[in-house]
């Protein structure tokens, strides 16, 4: 019989042949499977039951046309996707991304990561992801509404509160969820509040869902720092992105006495020597839907950079919260040279494969996205619980539950790291192994489906 590593390599070879050119998907699967040799050695039954071969194959992939008409009457066609990856632990759950880079590969990588992230939350949710190559930038509110209605018209036959529950991701926030919920309700003729999460607070949304990913990310990083006797008080932090995850990470950092000094969007990045002015950033991004350059015009302590890297700034903690592959090997080496203590991923796969290797070979505390950014989907699951019970829990109640879930995810990572590699701080192996075992056990119980 081949060794566990040889077996993993053969599954990866098969994956590459069956999904040619889907590089992001290959990278995400490789990142998980590369951690699993010690797990397969301790649980031979996973190999006998072909868990790896099954888990890398989505249960269902839906691909649909999304036609829409702009304000000038011009016709456009985008692609819609939903990958229903794994339902061993519950109905498919995961966000929708609207961004021009969206492809089958991107949605499959995100859906695959989502399986294990959702498992780590301890909630009853399977893994899925969807989206479109539609670019929301510069579109009018009416264009966004028409696009969301057309997208939902293609998607609605496949989702439902017991089946598949989408939410937001890049380019999809409260406004888009509102338009999609309205169209779903109209198409099915009933108010099924549990079909989407991230809803408005007046019609079934949960308190803290907007903040959850950022707050959860900072809570997870706080737990990592605590293992080395440190906290956030007085730490300088670089955050990238300036969307939902970045903004609420900055909010939580400020409340813990840290000093966030940067943020970015696709037009550049900002360094603010006085620390980020959160009210100004929120006004520009959430109200005006403006660019990061607008911030610099109104804030004398801030500078805009468009050529160098945001990761050149010397900081104690770095939180990449924009998108995949925004932090490469060279950036990782620069951060380490400048003395970074912890790096935790608000975005999904922001660190490329070389960057992960660099962090793994160093002393830096490195928290991968599937553990560190799981707070968003965790509170989505709490939103589903509130919807089923027709309740609305208080802010404190949801915030407390989120904090406990992030502490628990951290503990699972540390314990699995200790169990499978003999040290507590390999969060890559820890998160992959802990999430995988939970999914594998459920798949075994449910038979060859």
The answer to whether the beta carbons of residues 377 and 121 sit under 8 Å apart is yes
- By Cβ distance, which residue is nearest to ligand 2IT? 95
Q: Which is nearer to ligand NDP, 39 or 310 (CB)?
A: 310
When asked if residue 270 is in the footprint of ligand NDP (CB under 6 A), the reply is no
Name the token pair of 275. 């620390």
- If one asks whether residue 377 binds ligand 2IT (CB under 6 A), the answer comes out as yes
Query: Among ligand NDP, ligand 2IT, none, what does residue 94 contact (CB within 5–8 Å per kind)?
Result: ligand 2IT
Task: Tell me how far apart the terminal alpha carbons of the chain are, to the nearest angstrom.
Answer: 25
Q: Name the catalytic one among 117, 129, 199, 341.
A: 129
Question: Is 435:370 a contact under the CB 8 Å cutoff?
Answer: yes
Q: Which of 80, 111, 166, 168 binds ligand NDP (CB under 6 A)?
A: 168
CA atoms of 73 and 361, how far apart (whole Å): 55
Q: Rule CB under 6 A: is residue 164 a binding residue for ligand 2IT?
A: no
- Environment class of residue 297 by beta-carbon count within 10 Å: exposed (0-12), middle (13-18) or buried (19+)? exposed
Q: Which of 89, 167, 254, 317 binds ligand 2IT (CB under 6 A)?
A: 167
Given 3-state DSSP classes, what are the helix, strand and coil percentages for the chain, each rounded to the nearest 5? 50, 15, 35
- The candidate with the shortest Cα–Cα distance to 132, out of 68, 47, 189, is 68
Query: Which of 91, 126, 204, 241 is close enough to bind ligand NDP by CB under 6 A?
Result: 241
Q: Is 347 in the site for ligand NDP (CB under 6 A)?
A: yes
Closest by CA position to 348, among listed 141, 103, 169: 169
Q: How far is the CB of 448 from ligand NDP (least distance, A)?
A: 32
Residue 252: active-site member: no
Using the rule CB under 6 A, is 169 a contact of ligand NDP?
yes
* Phi, then psi, of 98 in degrees rounded to 5: -110, 105
Spatial separation of the C-alpha atoms in residues 247 and 203, rounded to whole Å:
24
Question: Looking at 93-101, 176-184, 231-239, 297-305, which segment touches ligand 2IT (CB under 6 A)?
Answer: 93-101
Q: Which stretch binds ligand 2IT (CB under 6 A): 65-73, 138-146, 375-383, 423-431?
A: 375-383
Q: HSE on the CB side for 97, CA within 13 Å?
A: 26
Which of 87, 149, 197, 242 is in the footprint of ligand NDP by CB under 6 A? 242
The footprint of ligand 2IT (CB under 6 A) covers 93-95, 117, 167, 169, 197, 348, 376-377, 380
Q: Which residues are catalytic?
A: 129
């Amino acid at each position: 019989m081949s060794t566990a590593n040889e077996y993993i390599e053969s599954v990866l070879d098969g994956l590459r042949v069956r999904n040619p050119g889907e590089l992001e998907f290959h990278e995400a699967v490789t990142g998980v499977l590369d951690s699993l040799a010690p797990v397969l050695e301790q649980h031979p039954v996973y190999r006998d039951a072909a868990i790896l071969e099954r888990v890398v194959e989505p249960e269902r992939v839906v691909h649909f046309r999304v036609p829409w008409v702009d304000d000038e009457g011009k016709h456009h066609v985008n692609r819609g996707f939903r990958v229903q990856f794994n339902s061993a632990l519950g109905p498919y759950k995961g966000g929708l991304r609207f961004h021009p880079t969206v492809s089958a590969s991107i949605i499959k990588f995100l859906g695959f990561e989502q399986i294990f992230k959702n498992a780590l939350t301890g909630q009853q949710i399977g893994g899925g992801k969807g989206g479109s190559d539609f670019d929301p930038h510069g579109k009018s509110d009416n264009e966004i509404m028409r696009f969301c209605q057309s997208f939902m018209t293609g998607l609605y036959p496949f989702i439902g509160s017991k089946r598949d529950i989408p939410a937001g991701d890049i380019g999809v926030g409260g406004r888009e969820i509102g338009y999609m919920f309205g169209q779903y309700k109209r198409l099915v003729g009933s108010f099924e509040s549990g079909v989407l999460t991230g809803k408005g607070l007046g019609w079934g949304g949960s308190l803290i869902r907007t903040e959850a990913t950022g707050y959860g990310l900072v809570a997870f990083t706080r737990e990592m720092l605590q293992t080395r006797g440190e906290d956030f008080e007085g730490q300088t932090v670089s955050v990238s992105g300036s969307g939902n995850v970045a903004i609420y990470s900055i909010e939580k950092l400020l409340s813990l006495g840290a000093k966030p000094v940067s943020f970015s969007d696709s037009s550049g990045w900002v360094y603010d020597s006085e620390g980020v002015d959160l009210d100004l950033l929120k006004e520009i991004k959430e109200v005006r839907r403006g660019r990061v350059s607008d911030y610099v015009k109104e804030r004398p302590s801030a500078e805009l950079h468009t050529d160098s890297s945001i990761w050149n700034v010397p900081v104690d903690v770095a939180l990449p919260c924009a998108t995949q592959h925004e932090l490469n090997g060279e950036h990782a080496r620069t951060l380490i040279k400048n003395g970074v203590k912890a790096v935790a991923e608000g975005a999904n796969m922001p660190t490329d494969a070389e960057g992960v290797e660099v962090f793994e070979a160093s002393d830096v505390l490195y928290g991968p996205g599937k553990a560190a950014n799981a707070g968003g989907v965790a509170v989505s699951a709490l939103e589903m619980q509130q919807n089923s019970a027709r309740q609305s829990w208080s802010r404190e109640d949801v915030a407390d539950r989120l904090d406990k879930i992030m502490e628990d995810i951290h503990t699972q990572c540390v314990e699995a790291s200790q169990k499978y590699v003999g040290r507590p701080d390999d969060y890559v192996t820890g998160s992959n192994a802990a999430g995988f075992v939970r999914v594998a056990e459920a798949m075994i119980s449910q038979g060859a489906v």
